[in-house]
Chains A and B, each alone.
Chain A
Amino acid sequence: MSGFRTMFANPGFNISEGFFPNINLQEKLNWAEEFIQNVLIPRLPEGFAAHFPVELGTMLVMFACAGIFVAVVPLLPLVLVLAERKVAARFQNRTGPMRVGPWGTLQTLADGVKLIFKEDFIPPQGDRFLFLLAPYVIFACSFAVFAAIPFSQNILVSDFNIGIFYIMAISSVIVMGVIMAGWSSNSKWSLLGSLRSAAQIVSYEIPLGLSILTVVMLVESLSMSEIVASQSNGVFSWLIFRSPFTFIAFFIFFISAIAEVNRTPFDLPEAESEIVAGFHTEYSGMRFALFFIAEYANMFAVSAIAVTLFLGGWEGALPGYDILGGMPGFVIKTLALVFLMMWLRWTLPRLRVDQLMNLCWKYFIPIAFFNILGTGVWGLIFPEDTLVSIIISCAIIYTGLIVAYTIAGRVMAQKPAPQPS
C-alpha cells in the first residue's frame, strides 16, 4: 500500500509504487513497530532481544520523521524571502538583490549567515526567560501547523480526524508567543506591537473560523484528507465553486488569513513608521531570524490551508491528473496564493486601527454568518453535489461577479467627494 513499506520490506524497491513515500505517521509507527518486531529482533543475540525496547525504537523513528520535516520546511522561507524581495523590486521598477550568486539567488543564504554572527542582544531590564522562550513558542507553533497539511497524495504527517480544527487550535497559540515577546522586551514599541497583534489576531480568528465552517458543513468532516478527497473531480468540484457561499468564504478566509499573519495591508503590529518593528523590535541575530522564518512559514501555511480547503488541495484541475502524487500542483497553487499576498503587500497602503476593526467586526463577521446560513440552506436544497448544483452555483457566482464589477465601476466613476485637508 505505501511506498515506504515496500521499500523496506523487499530489497528491490519498485519505483512504480510511487516516488514519494507515504508519510502517514500512524502507519509509519505501525510499520516501525512491525519492522522491529519481525525483522530486527529475530536477528539479535538471544539475551539482548528479550530486552529490546520496541517502544523506544518506535519513538526514535517518529522523531526521525519529525526531524526530516523540520529540516525541510525552513527551506521554504529561504526561497520565499528572496522571492519577496524580487517581487518587491519588480513592483518598484528595481532589480532587487543581484550580487550574491547568479541573479542574487544566494542573498538569503548570505543574510542568514550574517544573522548567525550578529550579537545576540537581550534587554537587561526585560524578562530574560520569557524573552528567550518567545521565539521558540512562535516557531514551534508555526511548524506544528504543517503536520496536518496534506502536501500530496502520500505526504501527510498525521491524518487527524480533527485536522483543520487542530490547525486552528495550534495557530491560535502563536498569539501567546507574540504577547510573550512584546512584554518581555520591556520596550513600549514591543508592547504596543504585541497588543495590536493580539487584538488583530483574536478578532480575525472569528471570520477565519466561520469561513472554514462553511467548508466543513459541505464536506461534513474536519479531516484534511477527506476535505481534499471531496474535491477530486476536477476544477469544478473544488469547494470554491461548489456553492456561491464557499466562493465568498474563500475571500473572507484569504483576507482574514493575511490579517492573521500580520502582512500589509494589515501589518499594524509591525508598522515600521509607527512602532519600529512591533513585537520583535528588541530581537537581533538568530532570534530575529526565527521570527522571520516563522513569518514566512506562516505565510506558506495559510496559503496551503486555503488551497486545501478551497482550491482542491493536491488534486489536479482535471480529474486523475495528479502528477507525482499531486505535489507539484499543490505547490504551484500555494505559491500562486503566496505571490498574491506579496502583490497585495506592495500595492496597498496600511489600514488604520479603526478601519481594521471595522472591516472585521462590521463586514466580515456578518457576511460570514450569512454564509453559514446560506450554506445550510444550500445543503438542504442540494444534499448531493450534482452537475445541476455545480452549474447553478457557477451561474450564481458568474452573475454575482458581473454585478459586483458593474457596481464597482459605477462607484469608481463617481467623482470623489472633496476631502477636508
Chain B
Amino acid sequence: MEEFTLKTFIFYGFALTTVASALLVVTVRNIVHAAFSLMVTLFGVAGLYVFLQADFLAATQVIVYVGGILVLILFGVMMTSGRLEMRIHIERGQLLLGGAVALVLLMLLLTVIANTPAWKNRIDDGTELPPTTERIGELILNGPFLLPFEVVSVLLLVALIGAALISRKEVRD
C-alpha cells in the first residue's frame, strides 16, 4: 500500500476533477455548460502534467487549450446556435460505430500504458526531474524534431491563409 501523502491527496483531487468534469462535458445538455466544464477538464489535465513534472507542457496546455481553442469554441457556439438546449438523437448504427471507435481507443491507450516503462514510479518517487523547458527547446529547434516543427508551422500558415480567404467574401466573388 502506497503511503498516503499530501501529494497523492492533491493528485487524486485533480484526477477526480478531470474525470468528473469530462463526464459532465458529454452528458450535459447545454452546450455552453459543456464548454465550460471542458475548461475544468483541461485545467485538471494541466494539473496532472504538473504532477508528471512537465511544467512547460502544463502551461502550454492552459494557454493553448483554455486561452485559445476553448475561446474559439465558445465564440462558435454563441455566434451560431439559436437554441442551446440540444437533444441529440442517436441512432443504433451510430451507437455501434461510436462504441467500436471508443473500444479501439481504449485498447490503444491501455497498450501505451502497459508499454510505458517506469510508469508506476513516475508520479511520486521523490526525485525531482530537471526543468523541461530547455530540453524541449533543444529538441525542437536544434534536434530531431526541427523538421516536423517547421512542417507544422508551414501547415498552420496555410490554414491561416485559407481561413482568411474563406472568411473574405469579396475575394471569392
Contacts and interface: CB of A to CB of B under 8 A. Distances in A.
A129 B169 CA distance: 39
Contact of A56 (B6, B39, B133): B6
- The secondary-structure label for the interface of chain A is helix
B22 interface: no
Contacts of A166: 55, 59
How big is chain A's contact interface, by range? 20 to 34
B78 A176 contact: no
Contact of B71 (A55, A168, A169, A179): A179
A172 B6 contact: no
Given A130-B36, A179-B71, A59 B6 contact: yes
A228 to B, nearest CB: 18
Contacts of A195: 75, 78
A169 B63 contact: yes
Given A161-B131, A179-B74, A222-B133, A172 B67 contact: yes
Interface string B59-73: 110110011101100
A55 B124 CA distance: 14
A202 B56 contact: no
A198 interface: yes
A205 interface: yes
A169 B6 contact: no
B24 interface: no
Interface residues of B, number: 23
A55 B6 contact: yes
Give the interface centre of B39, B60, B67 by most chain A CB atoms within 10 Å. B67
B5 interface: yes
B67 A175 contact: yes
Given A55-B5, A55-B6, 19 more contacts: A160-B55, A162-B131, A165-B56, A165-B59, A165-B63, A168-B63, A169-B62, A169-B66, A169-B67, A172-B62, A173-B39, A173-B66, A175-B71, A176-B67, A180-B36, A183-B32, A191-B78, A198-B71, A198-B75
26 contacts: A56-B6, A59-B6, A127-B32, A127-B33, A130-B33, A161-B131, A161-B133, A162-B131, A165-B59, A165-B60, A165-B63, A165-B133, A170-B62, A172-B67, A172-B68, A175-B67, A176-B39, A176-B66, A176-B67, A183-B32, A183-B74, A183-B78, A191-B78, A198-B75, A202-B68, A202-B71
Q: Nearest 8 A-B pairs (CB), nearest first?
A: A172-B67, A55-B6, A169-B62, A161-B131, A169-B59, A169-B63, A165-B59, A162-B55
Interface of A: 55-56, 58-59, 127, 130, 160-162, 165-166, 168-170, 172-173, 175-176, 179-180, 183, 191, 195, 198, 202, 205, 222
Interface of B: 5-6, 9, 32-33, 36, 39, 55-56, 59-60, 62-63, 66-68, 70-71, 74-75, 78, 131, 133
